[in-house]
Amino acid sequence: MSLLELHTRSLELAAAVVDTVQPEQLVLPTPCAGWSLRHLVEHMVGLHRGFAAAAAGAGPDPALWHGVPVHGVPVHGVPVHGDPVHGDPGGAFRHSAARLTAAFALAAAAPRPAPLRLPEVRDGAPVPFERAVGFHLLDTLVHAWDVAVALGPPDRLVAAVEGEPPLAEALLAVAGAVPAAAPDRAPGRAFAAVRAVDGEAGPFGRALALLGRDTAWAVAAR
């Protein structure tokens, strides 16, 4: 499978997880420090919008990457922090993912796909197209895991990814390319210090360890 096909598959698997989020669950904590499930889903949808804009040639404007609101639990019949276009977490995710997939496909059709300008990578310096797609594949699957563990055991997602070796290998390869230097692993950054991994861990578990994710978080948080 091509990288774009693997990326599309990552979005499908993540969407299946986000589809299970109920409005009342948006207040749950997640492995992303200080973020509720609402913040996490809004961030994921915002990343879709940001990457789509970058694929269309937009500069590294942070405003294009802001989280996109999704409906929460209604208060007196009025949705909390809602967006009338996106009526639910799963719908918001799928709608924005479809737009991103189309944007990536259009960019990839060029004889020489242009690099993307990502505000949180290299201070907005151009990133080669395929590398940028790989970055988003990583974000998609790791954040899907974050959502899954906020709701319960992530076994189904992990099994689905590891059941497709090319996808699992792509995830592990991108995770392994994330710099392990201290400045890139500080509080408030996307990743924590690399963690030791159990010798029996599969590729998803090894990727999470490389990114500093605590695979025991689900147990500790409940």
Q: How far apart (Å, rounded) are the C-alpha atoms in residues 90 and 165?
A: 26
Count of domains in the chain?
Answer: 1
Token pair 């400045």 in the structure block, residue: 183
Long-range contacts of 196-203 (CB under 8 A, 24+ apart): 202/158, 202/162, 202/168, 203/161, 203/162, 203/168, 203/169, 203/171, 203/172
DSSP states of 74-121: -BTTB-TT-BTTB-SHHHHHHHHHHHHHHHHHHHHTSSSPPPEE-TTS
- The 10s digit of each residue's pLDDT in 26-84 is 889 999 888 999 999 999 999 999 999 999 999 888 888 888 777 554 433 434 444 43
Q: How far apart (Å, rounded) are the C-alpha atoms in residues 185 and 211?
A: 9
Q: How far apart (Å, rounded) are the C-alpha atoms in residues 147 and 90?
A: 12
- The 10s digit of each residue's pLDDT in 135-176 is 999 999 999 999 999 999 999 999 999 999 999 999 999 999
Indicate the helix (H) or strand (E) that contains 53: helix 37-55
Token pair 């109920």 in the structure block, residue: 22
What is the pLDDT at residue 9?
A: 98
Task: Quote the mean pLDDT of the chain.
Answer: 86
Q: Give 117's strand partners.
A: 126
What is the pLDDT at residue 218?
A: 65
CA distances from 89 to 10, 31, 35, 217 (A): 17, 18, 15, 23
Confidence of residue 221 (pLDDT cuts 50, 70, 90): low
For residues 110 and 143, is the Cβ–Cβ distance under 8 A? Answer: no
Measuring CA to CA, which residue among 87, 100, 89, 78 is closest to residue 28?
89
For residues 121 and 190, is the Cβ–Cβ distance under 8 A? Answer: no
Domain holding 182, by residue range, is: 3-221
Contacts of 221 (CB under 8 A, 6+ apart): 29, 31, 149, 150
Residue 126 gets which letter from DSSP? E
Q: What angle, rounded to 10 degrees, do the helices at 155-162 and 129-151 form? A: 150
Tell me the CATH number at 116.
1.20.120.450
